[in-house]
């Protein structure tokens, strides 16, 4: 149990375009989902916390207009990178917290490359 | 600010030995702490959660301790195998901005040699 999926697993896009990444909790309901990014050989950096049915809370330094997060249901959250630039190239990972509110289960990650 | 420190150097051990990884945190008191395993190009996989009122927790060959006085958690893998080679992340939970969230250490890379 406790599986989180992400789609796509990798994506290449041109500079200036937008990319949407989906995160789904497959066998449990998640009131809270998180989005992280990870650069090579670095730790996970939290970008934002999203709660189902409400606006996401962004970490300091993360542009909310650039990284749009939607958490429309208890099993789906999406991250849209708008007007992507090469510096947005990174590994994006989502996680979902179970209803008990403790353990976070992570998706397999999405590798974004902006050319 | 809240800070997490893990062994920055890679840990190389011989198969069959016990690996011990250290996680120190400063400037806050987490209610619980989680350990994850991450393989290259993959998302972290949950291993163990230990609460502030628990001194030790075990799961198969894994053991985690939590010393709230020292502000430290130790993660042990006994009878290590080459398949245990990965990066291990420590993540104490904290509250910031009204939300519970994990704060990740940089991770310790473990290499188990046959």
Q: Note the pLDDT tens digit of each residue in B38-84.
A: 999 999 999 999 999 998 999 999 999 999 999 999 999 999 999 99
* Average pLDDT, integer, range A37-59: 90
Phi, psi of B84 (to 5 degrees): -80, -10
Query: What digits encode the pLDDT tens for the residues A66-78?
Result: 999 998 888 999 9
Query: What digits encode the pLDDT tens for the residues B18-43?
Result: 999 999 998 888 889 999 999 999 99
Contacts of B36 in chain A (CB under 8 A): 106
Instruction: Give the C-alpha separation, B72 to B81, whole Å.
Output: 25
Contacts of A107 in chain B (CB under 8 A): 43
Q: What is the pLDDT of residue B62?
A: 98
Contact B37, B86 (CB under 8 A): yes
When pLDDT is cut at 50, 70 and 90, the band that residue A103 belongs to is: confident
Q: What is the pLDDT of residue B48?
A: 95
Is the pLDDT at B97 greater than 80, yes or no? no
Task: Select the residue from B43, B52, B57, B99 to test the A interface by mutation, using most A Cβ atoms within 10 A.
Answer: B43
Torsion from C-alpha of A14, A20, A26, A28, nearest 10 degrees = 140
Q: B46: closest CA among A96, A65, A99, A75?
A: A96
Query: What digits encode the pLDDT tens for the residues A21-44?
Result: 999 999 888 888 999 999 988 889
Task: Kindly determine whether residue A102 and residue B105, on different chains, have CB atoms separated by under 8 Å.
Answer: no
Torsion from C-alpha of B73, B28, B108, B19, nearest 10 degrees = 0
Q: What is the pLDDT of residue B59?
A: 95
Q: What is the pLDDT of residue A1?
A: 63
> In terms of CA atoms, which chain A residue is nearest residue B48?
A103
Instruction: Determine the 3-state secondary structure of A5 from DSSP.
Output: strand
Burial class, A80, CB count within 10 angstroms (exposed 0-12 / middle 13-18 / buried 19+): middle
Is the pLDDT at A55 greater than 90, yes or no? no
From the list A57, A105, A109, which residue is nearest B46 (CB)?
A: A105
Task: Select the residue from A24, A44, A49, A91 to test the B interface by mutation, using most B Cβ atoms within 10 A.
Answer: A44
Q: B101: closest CA among B5, B30, B39, B24?
A: B30
């Amino acid at each position: 149990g406790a599986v989180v999926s992400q789609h796509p697993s990798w994506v290449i896009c041109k500079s200036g375009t937008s990319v949407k990444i989906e995160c789904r909790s497959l066998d449990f309901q998640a009131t809270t989902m998180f989005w992280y990014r990870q650069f090579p050989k670095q730790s996970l950096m939290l970008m934002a916390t999203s709660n189902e049915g409400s606006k996401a809370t962004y970490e300091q330094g993360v542009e909310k207009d650039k990284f749009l997060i939607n958490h429309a249901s208890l099993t789906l959250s999406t991250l849209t990178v708008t007007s992507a630039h090469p510096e947005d190239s990174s590994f994006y990972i989502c996680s979902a917290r179970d209803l008990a509110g403790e353990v976070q289960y992570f998706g397999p990650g999405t590798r974004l490359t902006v050319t | 600010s809240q800070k997490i420190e893990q062994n920055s150097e890679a840990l190389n051990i011989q198969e069959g030995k016990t690996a011990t990884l250290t996680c120190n945190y400063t400037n806050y008191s987490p209610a619980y702490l989680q350990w994850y395993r991450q393989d290259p190009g993959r998302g972290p996989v949950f291993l163990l959660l230990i609460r502030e009122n628990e001194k030790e927790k075990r799961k198969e060959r894994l053991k985690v301790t939590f010393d709230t006085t020292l502000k430290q958690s130790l993660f042990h893998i006994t009878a290590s195998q080459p398949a245990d080679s990965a990066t291990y992340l420590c993540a104490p939970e904290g509250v910031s901005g009204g939300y519970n969230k994990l704060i990740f250490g940089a991770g310790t890379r473990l290499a188990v040699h046959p």
